[in-house]
A and B are shown apart, each in its own frame.
Chain A
């Protein structure tokens, strides 16, 4: 039954206009950001006598293969990707309460934990799509810049198997933010509360928490490294090393275990809380 439910939930998400609007907005934003970045770098290069190393670093941001890493960092959980994922998760999750569509499955004998778990699992595909959309949009525009600047894409420097792992890793960094929002949507049953709470967490609360922990000294300071954004950065840094290096020997390996487990723990914590609350909820008119 779980796989049927998962397939049903995926169908529902894919037939929602909101998903495609979010993906289109991501594509447009990535294109705009890359174009602005390109213009800023071009201006910087022509206006001042930049040291050769700085010049190279600047160009790597808008040309292949470095630009691909740059796009993946931009769409990570603690950046643009997290914001859009929060919006998608809150709408998909809390609108089910307003439409009372949860009744459809529950009154047919679907166990509550299975339904909640399937609904969360179905959000993994949109997370992947968010990252892929950004990568494709950013990849196309920076391919154009690369030809313009270097007359080449330097495809030999792109490690495609590592690129696949990088997409998976980046999508994985979106999930703890999705889980926080999912929890807020379940507990509040409100799209507004879930969106505002989720965005506030991504944009403000986590940073404030990190600042506060930083001021408290050891051992509380050590908790900073277990915050979702720190864990996400640790995983996203691996994208930088692998793609830039173009070394296929590291493909799929070298995942920092603590970061991966830490993110999994955040996901399980908020998913578990959501299941626990949902199990106790009254779902009336």
Chain B
């Protein structure tokens, strides 16, 4: 299974003087996975991506791409990677087409019509002959995406790819990423738009204060945080009984109701019934990624 790991970081650290921007990040991304890299501003996402792309020298730790170590002095595995980091880089006095043609020079075996094709895909065909420096933020983002996709990479690393895009543009990007994932391209995406991440990602890593606070499959994370709400004759009694149920957490009485996390509704009902407390109402509420993210980063910040 080791060969299926496309991207791996081990104990990755980056210190800028006394600032520990990244502090021991260990993550792994498997082939074909869409991996969401989440974290509040300043949590170290872009710095981590900079080290993955060989743009920054790590203070400690390692980055491995396709089983080969990557450092700023050894970046050969990056030829199989497409990347869009922060604000897209482009030559401002060249047109969108010229920018792509320059990059196309670097990739052997690229079909002659690939530049036109990619301009069509990202919706820049009409603006192909406009100077990139005159583009709006959203158009620059599209061009950046086109540049990252041009050489049909096996791994796509995207840092806030929908930054500055209108809702239609975001929707298009989301669809494109889903299509790429369906074709087996591995996607590593950092975004603030948690709704997007929830829709397209298989797995997420959450970063806070330069550290990974959790790395889980999205379904697993959402399932574990489902909230079970029961109406009981005595909420105090129910709370006491649920405290002895393994896996049960966040038990909160609220009038005639009690809410719990970490266990299924069936487990809660059967446990209470077996102890003589019969719930009259049962409902299950799914947490979304945003609330989980806020909860995780808030509780981690308190611990810090």
**Interchain CA distance A141-B72 in the complex, whole Å:** 52
Closest chain-A Cβ to B152's Cβ sits at a distance in Å of: 13
Decide yes or no whether A252 CB sits under 8 A from chain B.
Answer: no
Contact (Cβ within 8 A) B75 A110: yes
Residue interface mask B63-97, A partner, CB < 8 A = 1: 00000000011011111010101110111111000
Residues of B near A111 (CB, < 8 A) are 73, 75
Residues of A near B53 (CB, < 8 A) are 103, 106-107
Given A112-B72, A282-B57, A284-B55 in contact, is the A8-B79 Cβ separation under 8 Å?
no
Nearest to B153 among chain A residues (CB) is A108
Contact (Cβ within 8 A) B55 A283: yes
Q: Which A109-134 residues have a C-beta within 8 angstroms of B?
A: 109-112
Closest chain-B Cβ to A149's Cβ sits at a distance in Å of: 44
A107's contact among B57, B76, B81, by CB below 8 Å, is which?
A: B81
Q: Which A240-285 residues have a C-beta within 8 angstroms of B?
A: 279-280, 282-285
Contact (Cβ within 8 A) A107 B83: yes
Interface size of A as a range? 20 to 34
Contact (Cβ within 8 A) A15 B103: no
**Interchain CA distance A7-B104 in the complex, whole Å:** 12
Contact (Cβ within 8 A) A108 B56: no
**Interchain CA distance A111-B72 in the complex, whole Å:** 8
Residues of B near A110 (CB, < 8 A) are 75, 106
**Interchain CA distance A212-B151 in the complex, whole Å:** 56
Contact (Cβ within 8 A) B89 A109: no
**Interchain CA distance A239-B76 in the complex, whole Å:** 46
Given A104-B103, A109-B77, A279-B72 in contact, is the A15-B98 Cβ separation under 8 Å?
yes
Contact (Cβ within 8 A) A8 B106: yes
Given A4-B106, A12-B102 in contact, is the A109-B76 Cβ separation under 8 Å?
yes
**Interchain CA distance A111-B78 in the complex, whole Å:** 10
A8's contact among B47, B73, B92, B102, by CB below 8 Å, is which?
A: B102
Decide yes or no whether A152 CB sits under 8 A from chain B.
Answer: no
Decide yes or no whether B46 CB sits under 8 A from chain A.
Answer: yes
Decide yes or no whether B50 CB sits under 8 A from chain A.
Answer: yes
A284's contact among B50, B79, B90, by CB below 8 Å, is which?
A: B50
Contact (Cβ within 8 A) B55 A108: no
Contact (Cβ within 8 A) B78 A109: yes
Contact (Cβ within 8 A) B50 A283: yes
Closest chain-A Cβ to B129's Cβ sits at a distance in Å of: 13
Given A15-B98, A101-B89, A279-B73 in contact, is the A108-B103 Cβ separation under 8 Å?
yes
Decide yes or no whether A11 CB sits under 8 A from chain B.
Answer: yes
Given A1-B106, A4-B106, A284-B46 in contact, is the A106-B91 Cβ separation under 8 Å?
no
Contact (Cβ within 8 A) B75 A109: yes
Contact (Cβ within 8 A) B93 A16: yes
**Interchain CA distance A107-B57 in the complex, whole Å:** 13
Decide yes or no whether B18 CB sits under 8 A from chain A.
Answer: no
Residues of A near B25 (CB, < 8 A) are none
Residues of A near B77 (CB, < 8 A) are 109
Contact (Cβ within 8 A) A108 B46: no
**Interchain CA distance A4-B104 in the complex, whole Å:** 10
Closest chain-A Cβ to B147's Cβ sits at a distance in Å of: 7
Nearest to A105 among chain B residues (CB) is B106
Contact (Cβ within 8 A) A101 B57: no
Given A4-B105, A106-B54, A107-B85 in contact, is the A284-B47 Cβ separation under 8 Å?
yes
**Interchain CA distance A104-B86 in the complex, whole Å:** 12
Closest chain-A Cβ to B239's Cβ sits at a distance in Å of: 49
Residues of A near B87 (CB, < 8 A) are 100, 285
**Interchain CA distance A106-B57 in the complex, whole Å:** 13
Nearest to A104 among chain B residues (CB) is B89
Residues of A near B57 (CB, < 8 A) are 280, 282
Residues of B near A285 (CB, < 8 A) are 46, 86-87
The 22 sampled A-B contact pairs (Cβ below 8 Å) are: A4-B105, A7-B105, A11-B102, A12-B102, A15-B93, A16-B93, A17-B93, A99-B90, A100-B87, A104-B89, A106-B55, A107-B53, A107-B81, A107-B83, A107-B85, A108-B106, A108-B151, A109-B81, A111-B75, A282-B55, A284-B47, A284-B56
What residues make up the interface of B, taking CB atoms closer than 8 Å to A?
46-47, 50, 53-57, 72-73, 75-79, 81, 83, 85-87, 89-94, 98, 102-103, 105-106, 147, 151
Task: Given contacts A12-B91, A99-B91, list 7 more A-B pairs with CB under 8 A.
Answer: A4-B105, A106-B55, A107-B53, A108-B79, A109-B81, A282-B56, A284-B56
What residues make up the interface of A, taking CB atoms closer than 8 Å to B?
1, 4-5, 7-8, 11-12, 15-17, 99-112, 279-280, 282-285
